Amino acid sequence: MSISRRKFLGWVGAAGLSTVWSGPASAATTKHFEGYPDSLGVLFDNLLCIGCRTCEEACNKVNELPPPEQSFKDLSVLDQKRRTTAKTYTIVNRYNSSKGPMFRKIQCNHCLEPACASACFVSAFKKTKEGAVTYDASVCVGCRYCMIACPFEIPAYEYDKVLEPRIMKCTMCYPRVIKGLLPGCVEICPTEALSFGKRKDLIRMARDRIHRYPDRYVDHIYGEHEMGGTNWLYLSGVPYTEVDMREDLGVTPASELTAGALSSVPMIVGLWPVLLTGIYAINKRSDKIAKHERELAVDQAEKAASEEAAKSKAKEDS
Ligand code: SF4
Ligand code: SF4
Ligand code: SF4
């Protein structure tokens, strides 16, 4: 398949790989991390998406995932509000928007400062310099805090696997990309709704489209700033809430929110186990973590941690 400029936006040639690409770096935890300067990403433009599910099929193939419950040719599934699962790293849903049917492709957004990595105390998640957030099953203890932490409800757990269940999510096709290949979904998309390239170039391209077609696009590149920014970016013809995307997340990265939460409770660093055990107890119930359940879990865990902190302080003072 030929690679158009739109799909493969100004990417470094294979010759540049050895110098530009390096091994995974630890997840960023500093405040106001702007992202690795040459990190890569994907731009999804929902005005170009026709909801063909070809990207789902390509993802399934390149990641050697199990066959789908319903054929990729069956477009009736588009009307269900599906989420990613342990067997599907990406899905496409259809929404009835103010401009008619609109599609959204869902997968890991590869946050600049990933909440999943911040929540993982064994560092199973890494933010790579290349932009992908990768996962190392060999160190994962299966606590599933990452599932609670992710604001986009992406990581899924292999509940049906008795031996060594893993967290499953889109890898931004890291193994392909470091070989100089496009992510499977980007390569296959027949309408160029997906473009791959340096994040900064994708942002420039998205701004240009908004500038050229102000009547078509909303003036907002989703992922440029949300939760500190993401390597997967979105352009939309309708307000993002119409395609079920959260606009209430704010621009503060997860690591900074965690730092705020930590500083608000005395000695809380030593209380992480209390906080996390509380979250885990609720998380254990089901893999379908509804938003209100997650909020409840965090509230209860924070309350438990605060009470523990107060008790410890009172003991110290006495
Ligand atoms: S979208 Fe969720 S799983 Fe993906 S990097 Fe961000 S926090 Fe992690
Ligand atoms: S980047 Fe790769 S893993 Fe992620 S959705 Fe596309 S094909 Fe699937
Ligand atoms: S392959 Fe492209 S057009 Fe088809 S559903 Fe996926 S993103 Fe949309």
Residues 279 and 198 in one domain: no
Residues 209 and 301 in one domain: no
CB 133 within 8 A of CB 127: yes
pTM > 0.85:
no
Which protein residues are within 6 Å of ligand 1, measured from CB?
108-111, 114-116, 133, 150, 152, 154-155, 169
Per-residue pLDDT of the chain (318 residues; tens, 9 = 90+): 334 545 655 333 322 332 222 233 333 344 456 778 899 999 999 999 999 999 999 999 999 999 998 899 999 999 899 999 999 999 999 999 999 999 999 999 999 999 999 999 899 999 999 999 999 999 999 999 999 999 999 999 999 998 899 999 999 999 999 999 999 999 999 999 999 999 999 999 999 999 999 999 999 999 999 999 999 999 999 999 999 999 999 898 877 766 544 343 333 344 455 555 545 544 444 444 555 555 555 566 556 656 665 675 676 666
What's the token pair of residue 89?
């790293």
**Strands 8-9 vs 194-198: parallel, antiparallel or unpaired:** parallel
For residue 149, the model assigns a pLDDT of 92
Residues 55 and 153 in one domain: yes
For residue 37, the model assigns a pLDDT of 83
111 CA to centre of ligand 1 in angstroms? 6
Q: Is 276 in the pocket of ligand 2 (CB under 6 A)?
A: no
Please indicate, yes or no, if residue 1 is contained in any of the structural domains.
no
How many domains is the chain built from?
2
110 CA to centre of ligand 2 in angstroms? 11
Which of 63, 104, 187 has most ligand 2 atoms within 8 Å of its beta carbon, as the pocket-test mutant? 63
Residues 6 or more apart whose CB falls under 8 angstroms from that of 306 comprise 265
Please indicate, yes or no, if residue 303 is contained in any of the structural domains.
yes
Residues 313 and 180 in one domain: no
Residues 116 and 49 in one domain: yes
Nearest ligand, CA 110? 1
Please indicate, yes or no, if residue 259 is contained in any of the structural domains.
no
Of the residues 190, 209, 243, the one at which a domain ends: 243
Q: Is 90 in the pocket of ligand 2 (CB under 6 A)?
A: yes
Amino acid at 288: K
Q: What share of the chain is helix, strand, coil (3-state, %, to 5)?
A: 35, 15, 50
Residue nearest to atom 2 of ligand 1 (CA): 150
Residues spanned by the domain of 313: 265-317
For residue 252, the model assigns a pLDDT of 87
> Phi then psi for 118, rounded to 5 degrees?
-65, -35
Q: Is 109 in the pocket of ligand 2 (CB under 6 A)?
A: no
Q: What CATH number does the domain containing 232 carry?
A: 3.30.70.20
Q: Is 194 in the pocket of ligand 3 (CB under 6 A)?
A: yes
60 CA to centre of ligand 3 in angstroms? 14
23 CA to centre of ligand 1 in angstroms? 19
Residues 234 and 305 in one domain: no
Residues 184 and 305 in one domain: no
Residues 238 and 270 in one domain: no
